[in-house]
Amino acid sequence: MRAVFFKGKDQPLVVQQIKKFKPVKDQVLIRLHNAAINHRDLWTWREQNLPGTDGIILGSDGCGVIEDVGEDADTLLIGSEVIINPSLDWGNNPIVQGNSFRILGFPDHGTFSDYIVISKKYAFEKPDHLNFAESSAVPLSGLTAYRALFTKARLRAKEKVLITGIGGGAALWILQFAVAYQARVYVTSGSDEKLNSAKSLGAVEGFNYKDPDWHQKALKESGGGFDIIIDSAGGDQFSKLIELALPGGRIVNFGRTAGNITNIATRLLYWKQLSIHGTTMGTRDEFLSMLDFVESRKIKPVIDKVFPLEQIEQAMHRMEHGDQFGKIILQIS
């Protein structure tokens, strides 16, 4: 079987032939058809070191067919079309992950391979209305989006929502979820083309954050601000989100593509009685609720481009350059 190995910070990603995995205990062996790339894979490649190891198979998102099962898993699962929940060992507290929590793909072997073995409790039935490639785009970013929008921000219909940095997988899921929930959605991007694409998906208006006055335009176009702001960038621009939030507003962050947050206007924070939430991934119950939301409303992910597994570095460079609008998918079989 083929597998993409991460061997250390900035080292070439190597596609190797290794011995096929064998499931044990409650594990299932999944023949992967597609996997999807996340910023987490890129950050692992660019920031992590693996001294003294043989490498880690990257990848958090995957979809395929169960081919074999361990001794404690039902043989009736064989042949099932499944997607994988990459949120491992969350723990018993739904508010925050426990000490054993980790995300599939680092340090555990992930989905950039022909096969994966994983506990049966992380394999879920593939949505009927999605093909394998579309289904592989759901798990990590869909779960992140669902928890951010519904658990943390507590979205209500007709509220005004601002999503920063539209184009990535999680941001687009948030857009689609919020539109499906009858929210009024606005977006930011450094690309006018991406802003126009977001409008075609239901965004009311978009603002180019390269314009120094974008936040003033957002205040005017929104009629005074936003009930919910969901941000994946952080950085210096976060201070503008405090200005853009309506009194009682909720701001949720799940990323740092622009670096650490600085210069928060503390007076506005307490006078407006704002809530700022950090979020990462989600629980099993949230994963199930997210799948139900996607299926019941027949929502399909936005796919940017599909690369063969052997072109993993080209796919990662596309994400690194920020060219994508939607999920970048790997074709495995």
Q: How confident is the model at residue 263 (pLDDT cuts 50, 70, 90)?
A: confident
Q: Among 7-11, 211-215, 327-331, which is the least confidently predicted range?
A: 7-11
| Judgement on whether residues 121 and 199 belong to the same structural domain of the protein | no
Indicate the DSSP class of residue 114: S
Question: pLDDT tens, 169-193?
Answer: 999 999 999 999 999 999 999 999 9
All residues at 6 or more sequence positions from 48 whose CB lies less than 8 Å from its CB, including other chains: 6, 8, 9, 106
Q: Among 43-47, 203-207, 233-237, 311-315, which is the least confidently predicted range?
A: 233-237
Helix (H) or strand (E) segment spanning residue 240: helix 238-244
* Domain housing 256: 142-278
Domain annotation covers residue 287: no
Domain annotation covers residue 102: yes
Q: What total number of domains does the chain contain?
A: 2
Whether the Cβ atoms of residue 319 and residue 39 lie closer than 8 Å to each other: yes
Q: Per-residue DSSP letters for 51-107?
A: TTS--EE--SEEEEEEEEE-TTS-GGGTT-EEEE--EE---S-TTS--TT-EETTBS
Domain annotation covers residue 76: yes
Domain boundary among 263, 278, 293: 278
User: Residue 30: its pLDDT value, please?
Assistant: 98
> Does residue 6 have a pLDDT over 90?
yes
Domain annotation covers residue 311: yes
Domain annotation covers residue 293: no
- C-alpha separations of 41 from 66, 206, 223, 301 in Å: 24, 28, 39, 19
> Does residue 324 have a pLDDT over 80?
yes
Q: What is the CATH number of the domain that holds 16?
A: 3.90.180.10
| Judgement on whether residues 202 and 259 belong to the same structural domain of the protein | yes
| Judgement on whether residues 197 and 211 belong to the same structural domain of the protein | yes
| Judgement on whether residues 98 and 171 belong to the same structural domain of the protein | no
* Cα distance between residue 124 and residue 231, in whole Å: 28
Indicate the DSSP class of residue 151: I
What percentage of residues in the chain have a pLDDT greater than 90? 89
Q: What is the mean pLDDT of the chain?
A: 95
> Does residue 51 have a pLDDT over 80?
no
> Does residue 50 have a pLDDT over 90?
no
Q: Per-residue DSSP letters for 246-290?
A: EEEEEEEE---TT-S-----HHHHHHTT-EEEE--S--HHHHHHH
Average pLDDT (247-261) is: 90
| Judgement on whether residues 132 and 147 belong to the same structural domain of the protein | no
Question: pLDDT tens, 19-46?
Answer: 999 999 999 999 999 999 999 999 999 9
User: Residue 52: its pLDDT value, please?
Assistant: 65
| Judgement on whether residues 151 and 263 belong to the same structural domain of the protein | yes
Whether the Cβ atoms of residue 202 and residue 185 lie closer than 8 Å to each other: yes
| Judgement on whether residues 80 and 157 belong to the same structural domain of the protein | no
Q: How confident is the model at residue 234 (pLDDT cuts 50, 70, 90)?
A: confident
Domain annotation covers residue 57: yes
- C-alpha separations of 283 from 89, 230, 241 in Å: 9, 19, 27
User: Residue 323: its pLDDT value, please?
Assistant: 85
| Judgement on whether residues 121 and 104 belong to the same structural domain of the protein | yes
All residues at 6 or more sequence positions from 249 whose CB lies less than 8 Å from its CB, including other chains: 225, 226, 227, 228, 229, 272, 274, 275
| Judgement on whether residues 11 and 118 belong to the same structural domain of the protein | yes
Give 330's strand partners: 35, 307
Domain annotation covers residue 100: yes
| Judgement on whether residues 149 and 134 belong to the same structural domain of the protein | no
Question: pLDDT tens, 99-142?
Answer: 999 999 999 999 999 999 999 999 999 999 999 999 999 999 99
- The separation between CA 235 and the C-alpha centre of its own chain, rounded to angstroms, equals 19
* Cα distance between residue 259 and residue 212, in whole Å: 19
Q: What is the CATH number of the domain that holds 156?
A: 3.40.50.720
| Judgement on whether residues 118 and 153 belong to the same structural domain of the protein | no
Whether the Cβ atoms of residue 313 and residue 14 lie closer than 8 Å to each other: no
| Judgement on whether residues 121 and 146 belong to the same structural domain of the protein | no
Domain annotation covers residue 283: no
3-state class of 294 per DSSP?
Answer: helix
All residues at 6 or more sequence positions from 120 whose CB lies less than 8 Å from its CB, including other chains: 26, 27, 28, 69, 73, 74, 77
> Does residue 97 have a pLDDT over 90?
yes
